[in-house]
Structure 1
């Protein structure tokens, strides 16, 4: 769990619920309370658990030792009076004598325990406020900003103030005394219930968004996404990217919020907060300084970018694969992205990749892709899997197909839909990049005989690449775009293969400096 924890436990152990398991059984098995398990997982009742899901077991110490809540202070044991032989002639006096020492000691111990309870309660209250960031960023009537937060190391905001009053001149989009429109009420109700099970993003005011983007000036425009424009801004000395959407895109707005408030990974773009006006919705993300992968692959020089080296391309592919693997395999609820493409893969200042734009993401079944429900076909042509086009079944394998197209783009530098040369523009033909690359691979059986594949490799690489690694990546992409989804690889297999290709590519680059033997030893020593 990210951010500050409101629980009193020190450890969280992940546990996959099996058939026959229950909250009561887990509590008995691990020596914890049922209430703590329900609180850690947001369970309404002990019966609301599902086999196959990952649940967290809160532990106060290492597994095996008994668990005690800090607030459950054991009662002070009543000491047994010591047996002392009375002196002769003093038996009557001994019966009347009271153990004043024990009484005074018990009173002192009780007073000390009361002080400890007060301190524990105060600390728990502070942790609760820190974890449940309400972020109601509002202004006082004199225009001063009253919201306070800390900027964490991972470009996120925490510890927002909990003010509930709003100045009349602040353009707050939340409902006030039932006078707002139904659209406002529906948005706020969804935001306040099941969206933020783990973390609550900061709510910014429209004025702040307007000021940070210089009135949405063209100079701050970063690009156009699937459902809105993206602007560069600075909020409280923090570089951010702000997606501007019309109020009609409430469904996509809520879908992206639901996903990004529950999943956190270094290769997924981080949601910082949101805002709204009467007509528009805004999502605020961490800023990716180098923009999208698409802008670096397709005609980069006209966009002010330099072409990417081979090793950087492989690293970008591996980063994106890890982010996609995370939402497919390792989240409590599994997701499909449904819009994987180079424009939705963003690069930070070190050219490390992050997947963005989760407005089309959907939950999938936990026991297999067959449980995914048929939906309206959405996405971008050139990246859509054949079975998704035919029956609208969104599965993890349809994401794998789109990622295979991205790999072909990294190799060729061409777009997902290519324009073939013709005698005239009207005679030119539009073909998918996947079909072009697959045709080249049929005539390039291995890295020693890849004449056809060489013709498709990005000319900006200027033959500065290891031929065997390029062929391996092309074959990996071929497996990802197989027409039969069953034969496609899982993202975890893609991550393993790309890791091997990256190691080989780095070692190849080291040989250019004449240090191959030393570098090979370092790689083997890892």
Structure 2
């Protein structure tokens, strides 16, 4: 090898680092060069001759089986929840789930797992002997399979109704309604009210069930179910512990009822107004009750109001300018609107008129048809409508500062324990509701707003009366 200068450096020998001095070095063959990585082009052109493939079929099949098992388990859980059936219960051994059985909750209502009332549970199956003997339930002919659309009440047996009312004993009689008597009963450990009607009242029977199975509101009495025998029909409702509003307003002491404080009166008015607003405006089909009165407003254990007796309820027909239903005049005198008496035209404003009369009852404690004071009891001319009496008093009452004759019309059971401005506002609202012209009457939405404001003002007034022991001592309706 030539160096950088003309001097010869000599030969260059390759001496491996792993050689041993004195021994001959054996050269090993060079390792083979690694094969080049296959390219996409090479793989695509080279056919796959391997016999083993990825088991796509097994994976898809396993997933299908797993999904099917999950679906079956979910379906079984849903059915178990729906029927509330417990195979471990000895009472259910050897029996299929009965769709008429319901779970009893100690909340004052008949419900099953979904929380809906049993009014929406299917009830068209025939009762078995285990449910109440062999008594034949004779369902009215007019009750077709689709008469309740998709929501149907539960069917009770006649034997259950008879047992729950102690064979309709007088001790269980709660009162008499428009189309039948109402009895107290205990059905499957639950307090209920049972309306007993003659079989000739099939039309009213079906109308009430159709309406109450479609409308559900805290201020409407809840229908639980029904029963029927050869000659009688029965409607089963939730029980209202404090009975009729009428009994708490008109001579309550003689009827064993407590008088109502001002706050309760306003709250009851607001509850009833909300129930009416609901059936007038917030249901799929709008209804006119046609029989709003103090005897059709029930009070529960907390003195909250519920509207009842929908046997005369009518579906209103929607038109471009109003909602009305032309029908024969039904209802109770003293609560009937003038145009309804004249033309037989039932509208939501007809209910507003009747509600105005109820407001006058709450204020005065008098009945819808009252007797003029200072006149003989034998004369027929002395009987006047409460609305006309109250309107006469309001004409002489310019404002709440000068109550005048209106103060004499306010219920003496209130013992002057009420805010005068709120009583005046409530009387003026009632006046608007009973206006001769239905167009000038407020709708129930406006009534609810006004009553809510009156209730708020009344609560504020009550707070200022903390030093007055009578407001809180329970002498007036427990407040």
Residue 107 (structure 1) aligns with: 61
Moved more, 407-416 or 424-433: 424-433
Distance 1:218 1:407 in 2: 32
Structure 1, unaligned runs of 5 or more: 1-82, 131-144, 175-183, 516-526
Task: Select the residue among 309, 330, 348 that pairs with 1:396.
Answer: 348
| Cα displacement (A) at 1:273 | 0.5
Task: Select the residue among 426, 451, 454 that pairs with 1:498.
Answer: 451
Residue 11 (structure 2) aligns with: none
| Cα displacement (A) at 1:84 | 9.1
Secondary structure of residue in 1 paired with 2:452: helix
Residue 478 (structure 1) aligns with: 431
| Cα displacement (A) at 1:99 | 2.4
Residue 257 (structure 1) aligns with: 209
1:466 touches 1:508 (CA, 8 Å); kept in 2?
yes
Residue 92 (structure 2) aligns with: none
- TM-score of the two chains, using structure 1 as the length reference: 0.72
Residue 464 (structure 1) aligns with: 417
1:283-302 equivalences under 5 Å are 283-302=235-254
Residue 438 (structure 1) aligns with: 391
Q: Describe the superposition over 1:319-369 as per-residue Cα deviations: whole angstroms up to 9, x where unpaired.
A: 000000000010000000000000000000000000000000001123567
Task: Select the residue among 181, 189, 197 that pairs with 1:229.
Answer: 181
Task: Select the residue among 73, 94, 98 that pairs with 1:119.
Answer: 73
| Cα displacement (A) at 1:121 | 3.7
Residue 406 (structure 1) aligns with: 358
Distance 2:202 2:162 in 1: 20
Residue 267 (structure 1) aligns with: 219
2:102 touches 2:110 (CA, 8 Å); kept in 1?
no
Residue 12 (structure 1) aligns with: none
Residue 292 (structure 2) aligns with: 340
Residue 269 (structure 2) aligns with: 317
2:140 touches 2:202 (CA, 8 Å); kept in 1?
no
Q: Describe the superposition over 1:96-154 as per-residue Cα deviations: whole angstroms up to 9, x where unpaired.
A: 53523333322222221222232344345556768xxxxxxxxxxxxxx9953113546
Distance 2:111 2:300 in 1: 19
Q: Describe the superposition over 1:403-448 as per-residue Cα deviations: whole angstroms up to 9, x where unpaired.
A: 0000000000000000123453223610000000000000001001
Residue 474 (structure 2) aligns with: none
Structure 2, unaligned runs of 5 or more: 1-37, 85-97, 114-120, 469-479
1:359-374 equivalences under 5 Å are 359-367=311-319, 370-374=322-326
- TM-score of the two chains, using structure 2 as the length reference: 0.79
Count of residues in correspondence between the two structures = 407
Distance 1:161 1:104 in 2: 44
Distance 2:64 2:430 in 1: 69
Distance 1:443 1:223 in 2: 39
Given the superposition, is the C-alpha separation of residues 322 and 369 from structure 1 closer, same or farther in structure 2, using an over 3 Å criterion? Answer: farther
Distance 2:349 2:122 in 1: 43
Distance 1:85 1:115 in 2: 42
1:74-89 equivalences under 5 Å are none
Residue 52 (structure 1) aligns with: none
Q: Choose 1 or 2 for highest CA Rg.
A: 2
1:259 touches 1:358 (CA, 8 Å); kept in 2?
yes
Distance 2:255 2:177 in 1: 17
Q: Structure 1 segments of 4 or more deviating over 4 A?
A: 83-88, 123-130, 159-165
Matched, 1:170 2:170: no
